[in-house]
A and B are shown apart, each in its own frame.
Chain A
Amino acid sequence: MFEAFLSKFVYVLTSSINNGMPVLFGATGEILTEKSGHLNLGIPGVMAVGGISGVIAAFFYGQVPEMNPFLTIIIPMLACLIGSLVMGLIYCFLTVTLRANQNVTGLALTTFGIGIGNFFGASIIKITHVDIPSVRIDATSKLFKSTLPFASKLGWFGEIFLSYRFLVYLGLIIAFIASFILFKTRIGLHLRAVGENPATADAAGINVNKYKYFATCIGSMIAGLGGFFYCIDKNGWSNDTIEPLGWIAIALVIFAIWKPHMAVVGAILFGLLLNLYDLIPALGLNIKFPQGYDKLFKMIPYIVTIIVLIITSARKKREYQPPSHLGLSYFREDR
């Protein structure tokens, strides 16, 4: 009896962690960005570009007859980081240097990024005249998906803690490091000051724009990894599937009240909620929903986020509010 429960629990937990991981990357990146006072609604686009950059690199390296495992891992990841960095830079240049409206810029970037993802996802073969029927990166993703060989031998402990691919650990580590940097280091302190009150930070001798650039660009790179993680999961690119994840990532930022370590918990929860419908049998619940109700289940993460948003705004506790300068551009001479 207990065994059966345990195995169900382990299954639900591990699949929730895997499902929540792209969202965790996105949310961690967006938290860093938002902490600098910039609401980057381009995250879905950034994740798409990060994903497709990795896929393209993996695809090309996958044509090499003998793949070096190290390069197979490192090349797509580098491509992903570079692709998402470029997106981050575009956003930064427009909103920090040119002080453009953040919402408008972010949305345009999302349109642009999704366009790039979908376009190259479909046309990479056409453009390069490679004689291959479809963009699959099976070999690469197999390598990315490999886990510790002995994990399965360690019973439920191994299942819960050691059964994941390394990108999962990377995502968790990044989230915890981000939390550490934000709340325990001078850099984090300065970054939070920039997002809360750039004029004060400026007066204290902090280079406001430098912090904004670094936070937003690093944030974009982390978010881009989320897109890549998702593509690995699907063995390639699939159109229009990353955008919803991007919005969920933004939702998770609110849910996590701008704390990356809280985002870890939230990501597992959202991973569960995102696939709740599919997990119902695994949960041992004998409820039969008519067909189509899976769509209604997909609303749950957003509804939960709205409830969190309302509660935090009603409680008015300062720690739970968005950075106070979020969405506003800083111009020193506007006093």
Chain B
Amino acid sequence: MTGEKTKKIRDPLFHIIKRGSIVWWKSALIRVSAVLIALIVVAIITLLITGQNPFEMYKAMVDGAIGNELRIWNLLQDTALLLVVGLALTLSFKMRFWNIGGQGQIIMGAVAATACMKFLPGKVPDFALYLIMIASALIAGGLWALIPGIFKAFLNTNETLFTLMMNYIALNFAAFLTFRWSKNSGNNVIGIINRKSHAGWFPEIGGSGFVGRNFLLNILIVFVIMLIVFVYLKYSKHGYEISVVGESEKTARYIGINVKKVIIRTVVISGAICGLAGLILVSGVHHTLTTDIEGGRGFTAIIVSWMAHFNPLYMALTSFLIVFLEKGAIQVASSPALNLDDNFANIVTGIIILFIIGCEFFINYKIVFRKRKGGVS
């Protein structure tokens, strides 16, 4: 009788439960396997498209990323540039404020820096120029984040959609300015600003024999920002408030934190650091303003930050991973043997990122297979 009854219950083959915790090596193993599987998938796809030997491709990839000294410096600089945006966004994410407006905030910082570089030299002393540039980039980025922040704090306006829209306003604003500021009006190219005087350019470090002279300062700045953000989040009272607000607004109110103030303050800092990233892009890297100067970092950094579980130090690692793949893939694509479009890199990184996103499931959840119950119930 009872035997019949238990049969009727559809016992699922497995069920999913949330993990309380996971030992570090297990989660590391899951992530590494995800990347490996992704690389295999990429290899298969490359094989299908091009008929190339995948091992040759990986060799080319490594070569593309770290094949010579210049490439290594480029790799490090791009890692830093992605990292700084990731750090900026992490401040918001820790508070569960989905700032996907990094793109707009970077662009506004870049616009502010460009404006200073273009119009101030000759009018203010050099060191003042730098100070004004830094201040204006911080303010421009911060302001661009302040607007959605205020509405989030007071009206609970959806910040994901708001910051997304702000990106395109900034982008079109930058497009407008690149047009207005372009040398031969109408070609949308501003060209290198202050090519001779180097006013507003970040100084080179080391002699002309040093390959990294144009890269080192950018990397160092980001390194310092990383340490500051790490300390800010982990050791400062502000950082503590961010965590409490992000984890539970109810607790925040219970201990008397002014939630609105924390939201606005944090979002502004987040935007300001994005603005700083814009400044580095203009003064330290490109020395001009283009509409694609942001290079998709606002979005990629979200993935970087999330993959690092919002830990600033891990983020250096995840940024490095993404940039390494991108650089390698670009090199592969442009190698004479394949002669593919640069966008191949986006496909490769896209696939790998999707695998990494998917593998988080196995870190957060556990699949438990039902044990076959004995005949006696």
A and B touch in the complex (CB under 8 A): yes
Q: Which A residues fall within an 8 A CB radius of B?
A: 39, 41, 90, 93-94, 98-101, 103-105, 107-116, 118-119, 122-123, 126-127, 244, 247-248, 250-251, 254, 291-293, 295-296, 298-299, 302-303, 305-306, 309-310, 313-314, 322, 327, 331, 333-334
Q: Which B residues fall within an 8 A CB radius of A?
A: 16-18, 49-50, 98, 100, 151, 155-158, 160-162, 164-169, 172-173, 175-176, 179-180, 185-186, 296, 299-300, 302-303, 306, 339-341, 343-347, 349-351, 353-354, 357-358, 360-361, 364-365
Please report the C-alpha to C-alpha distance between residue A331 and residue B346 in the assembled complex, in whole angstroms.
32
Q: Which residues of B contact A293 (CB under 8 A)?
A: 176
Please report the C-alpha to C-alpha distance between residue A302 and residue B306 in the assembled complex, in whole angstroms.
27
Q: Which residues of A contact B353 (CB under 8 A)?
A: 108, 111-112
Q: Residue of B at shortest CB range from A305?
A: B165
Interface contact B343-A118, CB-CB below 8 Å: yes
Interface contact B100-A108, CB-CB below 8 Å: no
Q: Residue of A at shortest CB range from B354?
A: A108
Interface contact B50-A313, CB-CB below 8 Å: no
Q: Is the interface of B mostly helix, strand, loop or mixed?
A: helix
Please report the C-alpha to C-alpha distance between residue A93 and residue B355 in the assembled complex, in whole angstroms.
11
Of the residues A105, A123, A291, A322, contact of B186 by C-beta under 8 Å: A291
Interface contact B343-A104, CB-CB below 8 Å: no
Q: Residue of A at shortest CB range from B353?
A: A108
Q: Residue of B at shortest CB range from A327?
A: B160
Of the residues B340, B346, B358, B361, contact of A111 by C-beta under 8 Å: B346
Q: Which residues of B contact A107 (CB under 8 A)?
A: 100, 299, 302-303
Q: Which residues of B contact A327 (CB under 8 A)?
A: 160
Please report the C-alpha to C-alpha distance between residue A224 and residue B167 in the assembled complex, in whole angstroms.
23
Report B47 CB to chain A, min CB distance, Å.
13
Interface contact B18-A333, CB-CB below 8 Å: yes
Q: Which residues of A contact B175 (CB under 8 A)?
A: 295, 298
Please report the C-alpha to C-alpha distance between residue A150 and residue B142 in the assembled complex, in whole angstroms.
57
Q: Which residues of A contact B157 (CB under 8 A)?
A: 309-310, 313-314
Given A101-B306, A112-B354, A119-B347, answer yes or no on A296-B173 (Cβ-Cβ < 8 Å): yes
Max chain B Cβ within 10 angstroms of own Cβ: one of A98, A126, A295: A295
Interface contact B156-A99, CB-CB below 8 Å: no
Please report the C-alpha to C-alpha distance between residue A98 and residue B365 in the assembled complex, in whole angstroms.
9
Q: Residue of B at shortest CB range from A117?
A: B343
